[in-house]
Structure 1
Amino acid sequence: MDSERLSALERLAEGLGPAELYWVAAWSAARADQLQRGLVGIQAAPAKAAHDALTIVYGSQTGQAKRIATQLSERAAAAGLSVRLVRADAYSQRELAKEKHLVVVISTQGDAEPPDDARGLVEFVLGKRAPKLAGLRYAVLGLGDSSYPQFCAIGRQLDERLAELGAARFAPFGEADVDIEAVAGPWAEQALEQAKKLVGAQPPAARVATLQPVPSRATHSRERPFAASVLDNQTIVARDAARDVRHVELSLEGSGLSYQPGDAVGVWPQNPPGLVQQWLSLLQLDGEQLANHDGRSLPLRQWLTSERELTRLSRPLIAALADASGDEGLAQLLRPDQSRALATLLSDHQPIDLWRRHPAAWSAEELVAALRPLTPRLYSIASSQKVVGDEVHLTVATVDYIAHGERHWGAASSFISAANDERRLPIYIEANERFRLPKDDARDVIMIGPGTGVAPFRAFVQERRETGARGRNWLFFGNRHFTSEFLYQLEWQAALRDGSLNRLDLAFSRDGASKIYVQQRLREQGRELYAWLQEGAHLYVCGDANHMAKDVHAALIDVAIAHGGQTPEQAKEWLGELLQQGRYARDVY
């Protein structure tokens, strides 16, 4: 095949998911069979118009909504439905008025924020320009974390708004917590059965008995993690630092796993032994006692160590404790008018804090049933695979502190920090398509990453140095103290010397009489920052979603007002356009 035709095929295949690529492969094989048998004149039945198909749109910040939407599209295609899978920022808003059958899978971030790739679509649907949708049948699956007060708020808003616009549900609104499959699986099955009735399954145009999907080289995933050995695990802050931050290097040898700068590693953790013992002692339960749940029988200590969430509080857990203890005051926190008090409680308490404060008798099986399943944690990758080969590097802040008179731990950070060359960590790669370096290596890059948010930018600089990228690199980094918490200081200084980092602006909040944060440095360098962006630079933010990311966003608006002559509304629209274009990307948590 000549290069021109190959390029055309690559353009056609761009953005297609596994199910769609398998369908294309099957169609191609059937077409080849027709040609070989001289049946060129026979035409396949015309494909359905896009709007007669089942359209699945997903909005995803960490990859979970994409994963669920992809699984649903594969099941729909296997059932014979005409289906298309579209990321929210690639979905034309004009399409909505023509759509007939729509599924939306969307996550809610932090305090009722949409994922970045769905901001434009959400604003359009909720806004005044949204069309009437009397001909639309739809279903919405919301993903969220009940550790936050506004659980699945974005999904719920879209579900209600589509109904207001005249559309009719073909499946009830679904709310999936962090144990996503518990809700997403049954919901998808119900939605798919209804979709079959609405869209109608199409038999394949030709049978291709010998065609089998070719598996990718990587066989490890969220469901089948790779046991990675620990190559290095070292503290990269001074002994007197406020908390321990570690640089961790893991081996991927033999895994078949690959990644790009901007991707994340998912780690399946175990709870710290000290925390497990706190629970057993508080409730006076025997860790070796067998507890039955969902058809499984395990010692209670094993349930608490590797199967149940012990560090994150949630609304259902508060409801279960209020019911068991009979505490009416605790139950009242779940009322809509108590959202602020609930948010405070969720942010600074772990489950055991409430168990101490609201005692009740719990059996081993009651406790296991009340606690949520333990889920993986995502860590931004701090290395370029072009540089480190079959390794992946992480930057991990260990959560270990005293609160409410007791010691508290983080599940994954404690698990990783204690890892040595005798322990293997169960990991997988979580791709992050929206947090990618620009394809045009002449583009400038602005990186904003205080604390461990600097991790992906270590990968970015390594990658740009290795590939000889022509664009400039500008890093904003902040932490508490220069002398004790300047993460990767020697590497950044070396990068400045060799030219792989062109600018470095620092903000150490506790070193002066007044606190200085990265958002203040953005305002100080606003004129040049705005000039870089006007010249086409890509902007990246990584770190805390609830405070830092919002403060940085506000600072960027101020920069556009002060140095671009924009009104506040124009500045917001300008940043929205950068998000839509993929020139403003955020990896926030």
Structure 2
Amino acid sequence: MSHLQLTSSLSWEMTLSKILRPAMPATLADYVTLAAIVGVTAWWLYENHLKASDPYHHLWFECPQQQGENNRPETRRVTNIAEYMDMVNKNIVIFWGSQSGTSEAFAHRLARELHSRYGQETLAADPSDFDATTISLLGKSRLAIFIISTYGEGEPTDNVMGLWNWVQNAASSSVQGLRYAAFGLGNSNYKNYNRAVDCLVEQLSRLGAEAVSPLEKGDDATNTTEEDFMVWKENLFKSLVRKVGLEERENTYEPVLLVQEDESLTDLHLGQPEEVTDSLRSVHNNSPVRILKVIETQKLFDSSDRQCHHLELDISKNPELIYKTGDHLGIWPSNPDSEVKRLLKMLGLEERRNNPIRITSIDLVTKVPVPTPTTIEAILRYYLEICGLVPRDILPSLATFAPTNSAKAYISNLGEDKEAYSSFMNGRYMNIGRLLEFVCPSGTWSSLPLSYLLDILPRMQPRYYSISSSSSVSPRRLSITVAVAGLPVQTENEVISGVTTNYLLCLSNSRGSGSSSKPLSYQLGGPSNMLGGDKIYAHIRRSKFKLPALGSSPLIMVAAGTGLAPFRGFLKERSKLMSIGRPVGSMILFFGCRNEEEYIYHKELQEMQSILGQKLVVVTAFSRSPGQPREYVQDCIVEHGNEVVQFLDQDARFYICGRASMALEARRVLVNLLVQKKGMSEAESDEWCKSLKRGNKWQEDVWG
């Protein structure tokens, strides 16, 4: 605090003390004066301290529709969906519920195809932008389509909460006459597979809405979500032709975005991530995106086809970042150099890669998906997901830009023939750049506009990792555990790995703790070298995966692979409690991996066992140990069934972290245990497990 500030503060306090010196106000005027002083003081504290400490304070005073440089306030202030569709002349609305961007991408693809094939004026809409109750005003003349992902354990995504709450509580027949269709995205390894869309459809039916096409679901567990979506989409089109009278026309590409090069543009967005502020709920759950320094990297193992790394990051220079044990770290990657270079070459844009461009919306309702103004390279390196597989349904439109007739015919056939596409993709990893190169290796796709890529490619999304440190032990230093596995490709002598895992592997290699194999190269310095010196863009996401408030509560922990990460933080926290003489409950950890070589944090677990003594039992399962039968964590739960039931009888908390398939098996064997050991029926056992979840005594952090 400066001398001037200190003097001013002391002067204010002295003045206040003189005013308040009388023991009690005696007259009405005294009461008014005192109230005014209190009010002014509260305002001063709010403006100078509370308000300034909240980086998202402005969001409380903005409509979500008004955020973003290219949105148009004159139309987006409207939260009545029926009124809004009248204003922008749309007759079909596609509501998407998305946590990772897949449903949103599907909604935009469907909207584009309904317009290009059938001439329909279609709006892809975030339901959080509108008052859900106004859906009842859409009437028979419009169609509502819902593409809804199920998140976590059967929960709706953040942006669907308003719609979810309304449809659960709306009066009967409140959407009488509404015509709708729905598609769900989920994973059948989860117990509540596609529960969000099931509940939505059930409630819409209760409220009097009419389905124009049967509900269908995509299953990520079988890697068929794309094809499931396409099958549903074609069935939907047939239903709309039959029931609504749509007529197919020649499929032509009509851009909705205008990309203009302009050398005079300044203040360019060169790769800095956009804040995660889609809704007030996401603002509450996500910290601001910040630059964090990686201060330690360690290779945990490096086998023939996979490896695992431990990274520690310093958050001491970011006092606004606060994490709790069990939270997630969202990392914002970039695309690898080879894929950026490949796509620039195939588009004929190498010479213009750094040209400033401005992107504007031609259509009233289309949001510009990336920050603008920017450069061509920044879009391809930082803002678009260029490494994802090319879906079959975009191939017909992509074929119209082919540089040769043979390339056009080849791509058209892949788009029209499911078997040909499946055969072509088998053993190949064809992202957009690789596909263009494969079909026309010696030419360029110079007629393919950048606006088309902005239209068909998803925005870059953060990838989330469980924090493996304890906020009680190291509050200003957090760690994550990253597994890197590759997908072999037949056509080239290389392995394709995840965008973010390879990005972090490249960073580890640059620090001398990476793999002996050469990973893909990345621009580790980031935009304008802002990430030089081992830094990354990241933010903290709050998680419900938490230790109980009482350290004396018993714990059952089930993990496989990097699912051990949050339990490392849990055990570090319990070890600290033990070391300072606080009561600690008994714990049993079931951990599975392939073999001893991949037993991550083995030495640390032994050290924590020496601190915790009999309070911690670690049971391991190795699925590929040489000369030994395969064993998985669910097998160990059965073997130690008596101890597990005893723990549960002692009001233990039950945690699972790892792949969804493992979690499904762990749930199954636990239900069977309760049937066998406690004499419950299967229905009673299942209900008992549900009651644990309702009481927050059963928690899962699972993926895939």
* 8 Å contact from structure 2 (residues 592, 633) kept in 1: yes
* 8 Å contact from structure 2 (residues 183, 197) kept in 1: no
For normalisation by structure 2, the TM-score amounts to 0.53
Corresponding residue for 1:303? 379
Corresponding residue for 1:413? 501
Cα gap change, 1:108/1:312 in structure 2, threshold over 3 Å: closer, same or farther? farther
Of the structure 1 ranges 520-529 and 567-576, higher mean CA displacement relative to structure 2 is found in 567-576
How many Å apart are 1:302 and its aligned residue? 2.4
Corresponding residue for 1:157? 198
Corresponding residue for 2:368? none
Cα gap change, 1:541/1:312 in structure 2, threshold over 3 Å: closer, same or farther? farther
Summarize the alignment of residues 198-213 of structure 1 with structure 2, pairs less than 5 Å apart: none
How many Å apart are 1:503 and its aligned residue? 0.5
Cα gap change, 1:558/1:348 in structure 2, threshold over 3 Å: closer, same or farther? farther
Is 1:441 matched up with 2:551? yes
* 8 Å contact from structure 2 (residues 389, 431) kept in 1: yes
Is 1:277 matched up with 2:318? no
Corresponding residue for 2:672? 558
Is 1:115 matched up with 2:228? no
| Number of equivalences | 437
Q: Deviations over 1:565-585 (max 9, x none)?
A: 222222222221111111110
Cα gap change, 1:345/1:415 in structure 2, threshold over 3 Å: closer, same or farther? same
Counterparts of 1:220 and 1:390, CA distance in 2: 20
Corresponding residue for 1:543? 658
Pairing partner for 2:535 from 421, 424, 429: 424
How many Å apart are 1:220 and its aligned residue? 11
Corresponding residue for 1:375? 461
SS in 2 for 1:387: coil
Q: Deviations over 1:22-67 (max 9, x none)?
A: xxxxxxxxxx999959xxxxxxxxxxxxxxxxxxxxx9999999xx
In the alignment, residue 515 of structure 1 is paired with which amino acid? R
Summarize the alignment of residues 315-394 of structure 1 with structure 2, pairs less than 5 Å apart: 317-325=391-399, 327=412, 330-331=415-416, 351-352=431-432, 361=445, 363=448, 365=450, 366-394=452-480
Counterparts of 2:183 and 2:550, CA distance in 1: 34
How many Å apart are 1:284 and its aligned residue? 6.1
Corresponding residue for 2:324? 260
Counterparts of 1:569 and 1:223, CA distance in 2: 41
Is 1:489 matched up with 2:602? yes
Counterparts of 1:116 and 1:443, CA distance in 2: 30
In the alignment, residue 411 of structure 1 is paired with which amino acid? V
Counterparts of 2:609 and 2:99, CA distance in 1: 32
Corresponding residue for 1:246? 309
Counterparts of 1:506 and 1:345, CA distance in 2: 38
Corresponding residue for 1:48? none
Counterparts of 1:556 and 1:535, CA distance in 2: 16
In the alignment, residue 134 of structure 1 is paired with which amino acid? S
Unpaired stretches in structure 1, ≥5 consecutive residues: 1-31, 38-58, 66-70, 82-103, 176-218
SS in 1 for 2:473: helix
How many Å apart are 1:411 and its aligned residue? 1.4
How many Å apart are 1:262 and its aligned residue? 1.2
In the alignment, residue 159 of structure 1 is paired with which amino acid? L
Identity %: 24
How many Å apart are 1:472 and its aligned residue? 1.2
For normalisation by structure 1, the TM-score amounts to 0.62
Cα gap change, 1:64/1:369 in structure 2, threshold over 3 Å: closer, same or farther? closer
Pairing partner for 1:134 from 150, 172, 197: 172
Unpaired stretches in structure 2, ≥5 consecutive residues: 1-30, 37-96, 104-125, 134-145, 218-282, 361-371, 400-410, 512-531
Counterparts of 2:101 and 2:617, CA distance in 1: 31
How many Å apart are 1:287 and its aligned residue? 7.1
Counterparts of 2:669 and 2:608, CA distance in 1: 27
Counterparts of 1:162 and 1:349, CA distance in 2: 40
* 8 Å contact from structure 1 (residues 107, 114) kept in 2: no
* 8 Å contact from structure 1 (residues 61, 116) kept in 2: no
SS in 1 for 2:631: coil
SS in 1 for 2:306: coil
Cα gap change, 1:356/1:518 in structure 2, threshold over 3 Å: closer, same or farther? farther
SS in 1 for 2:472: helix
Q: Deviations over 1:473-508 (max 9, x none)?
A: 2111111111x2110010111111111661101011
How many Å apart are 1:368 and its aligned residue? 3.6
How many Å apart are 1:159 and its aligned residue? 2.6
Corresponding residue for 1:5? none
* 8 Å contact from structure 2 (residues 298, 311) kept in 1: yes
Cα gap change, 1:262/1:60 in structure 2, threshold over 3 Å: closer, same or farther? farther
Over the aligned positions, Cα root-mean-square deviation in angstroms equals: 4.9
SS in 1 for 2:610: helix
Counterparts of 1:510 and 1:160, CA distance in 2: 44
Counterparts of 1:575 and 1:281, CA distance in 2: 55
* 8 Å contact from structure 2 (residues 556, 587) kept in 1: yes
SS in 1 for 2:200: helix
* 8 Å contact from structure 2 (residues 175, 207) kept in 1: no
Counterparts of 1:386 and 1:524, CA distance in 2: 34
Counterparts of 2:317 and 2:184, CA distance in 1: 34
Q: Which has the larger radius of gyration?
A: 2
Corresponding residue for 2:489? 403
* 8 Å contact from structure 2 (residues 101, 461) kept in 1: no
Counterparts of 1:146 and 1:132, CA distance in 2: 25
Corresponding residue for 1:18? none
Counterparts of 1:534 and 1:347, CA distance in 2: 50
* 8 Å contact from structure 2 (residues 291, 537) kept in 1: yes
Counterparts of 2:568 and 2:314, CA distance in 1: 18
In the alignment, residue 573 of structure 2 is paired with which amino acid? E
Counterparts of 2:357 and 2:290, CA distance in 1: 28
SS in 2 for 1:495: helix
SS in 2 for 1:514: coil
